[in-house]
């Protein structure tokens, strides 16, 4: 019998650093101390590395390096995209359209904008977790300056119709800027900003086995945004402050490793194993329709997800009940989907990565079955 010290299945919250990222970050931390803004040799060497890392991330997005600005992560990129977009078009209108299932970094930024004189319309999803193109487009008005719709939901994994929304808005003549939070989609499903037809896009490193503390904002060519931070000309004058070269190095290394791994088939197999084993072990369990291959939302009606999660934690199996940012709060995503309270309260989130194995999934389901029978025998 295989003995597992721990099984980590919360990769939608964060992922362990891949060896490639660790090696490159260690190399930079130990060998490259130069400031990329300095003009002497160590600075020029650091700048050359920064340019190369930017090229790597840009190519993974199907973009050009000058379109990429490194940030401290997806939250910062989302905040900046929203604030800069509405500031740019504030004379045209003060209406924003988004969805009721966005990550809190979008939701809370929009709530603050609502207190600052902007009107925010949130479009709800259907029971399958996706918003409709028609509903989003109907919410857009002549004074709408921004439409923000995430690409993959961070709790359910459901893919949102961003490209279809963008196409419909362009066809209607809307001049609103379009932003998407692609943090859970980057390196997991194929896409490019050009294919999506959007203006702004946010990604993060720590969801793809890169380090925490670094992400990026992509902007469409020709779009001028107000700087996020002032004080220097770093990041093409858009974000002042000395770049965290070691983090950016880890980001680029994680991108390269993800491209080489091409783990889509493996992740889909893990999803299939999860569904197959749940069907046999816990026939009352339900799994939301699969979107992105790395996220599964599983409900055990009649159970309490926090109780299941805490008991599995004690066994060394790590899952979550919703977004890590909520710190145990009830899922606004599942509430927006109008699911029954018993379904919401019994929902857990499973997040796979290429480092997980089929055997880990089977052990998780077995332990989940045992936990349910012990704690919720009815």
119 token code pair: 């009107």
The number of residues in the chain equals: 378
Rg for the chain, CA atoms, rounded: 21
CA angle 161, 164, 168 (to 5 degrees): 135
Q: How many whole angstroms from its chain centre is CA 79?
A: 14
Three-state SS for 164-196 is HHHHHHHHHCCCCEEEEECCCCCCCCCCCHHHH
Residue partners of 91: CB distance under 8 A and separation at least 6: none
- Residues 152 and 336: their CA atoms lie apart, in Å, by 16
144 token code pair: 């709408």
Q: Which residues are catalytic?
A: 325
CA angle 189, 195, 196 (to 5 degrees): 80
| Phi-psi label, residue 211: left if phi above 0, alpha if psi -120 to 50, beta otherwise | beta
| Phi-psi label, residue 357: left if phi above 0, alpha if psi -120 to 50, beta otherwise | beta
In three-state secondary structure terms, 229 is strand
- Residues 336 and 229: their CA atoms lie apart, in Å, by 34
């Amino acid at each position: 019998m295989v003995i597992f010290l721990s099984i980590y299945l919360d990769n939608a919250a964060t992922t362990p650093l891949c060896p490639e990222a660790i090696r490159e970050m260690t190399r930079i931390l130990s060998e490259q101390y130069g400031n990329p803004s300095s003009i002497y040799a160590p600075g020029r060497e650091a700048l050359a590395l920064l340019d190369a890392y930017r090229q790597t991330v840009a190519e993974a997005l199907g973009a050009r390096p000058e379109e990429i600005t490194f940030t401290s992560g997806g939250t910062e990129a989302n905040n900046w995209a929203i604030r800069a977009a509405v500031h740019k078009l504030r004379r045209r209108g003060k209406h924003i359209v988004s969805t009721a299932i966005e990550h809190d970094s979008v939701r809370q930024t929009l709530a603050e904008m609502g207190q600052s004189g902007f009107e925010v319309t949130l479009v709800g999803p259907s029971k399958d977790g996706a918003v409709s193109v028609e509903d989003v487009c109907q919410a857009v008005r002549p004074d709408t300056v921004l439409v923000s719709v995430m690409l993959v939901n961070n709790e359910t994994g459901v893919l949102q119709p961003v490209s279809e929304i963008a196409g419909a808005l362009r066809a209607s003549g809307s001049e609103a800027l379009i932003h998407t939070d692609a943090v859970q989609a980057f390196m997991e499903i194929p896409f490019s900003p050009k294919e999506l037809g959007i203006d702004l896009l946010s990604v993060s490193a720590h969801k793809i086995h890169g380090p925490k503390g670094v992400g990026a904002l992509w902007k469409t060519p020709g779009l001028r945004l107000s700087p996020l931070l002032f004080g220097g000309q770093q990041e093409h004058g858009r974000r002042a402050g000395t770049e965290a070269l070691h983090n950016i190095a880890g980001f680029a290394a994680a991108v390269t490793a993800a491209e080489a791994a091409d783990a889509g088939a493996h992740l889909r197999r893990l999803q299939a194993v999860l569904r197959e084993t749940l069907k046999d072990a816990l026939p009352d369990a339900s799994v939301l329709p699969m979107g992105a291959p790395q996220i599964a939302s599983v409900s055990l009606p009649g159970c309490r997800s926090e109780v299941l999660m805490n008991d599995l934690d004690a066994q060394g199996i790590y899952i979550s009940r919703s977004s890590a940012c909520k710190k145990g709060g009830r899922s606004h995503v599942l509430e927006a989907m109008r699911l029954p309270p018993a379904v919401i309260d019994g929902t857990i989130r499973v997040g796979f990565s290429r480092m997980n194995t089929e055997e880990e999934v089977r052990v998780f389901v077995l332990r989940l079955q045992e936990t349910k029978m012990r704690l919720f025998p009815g």
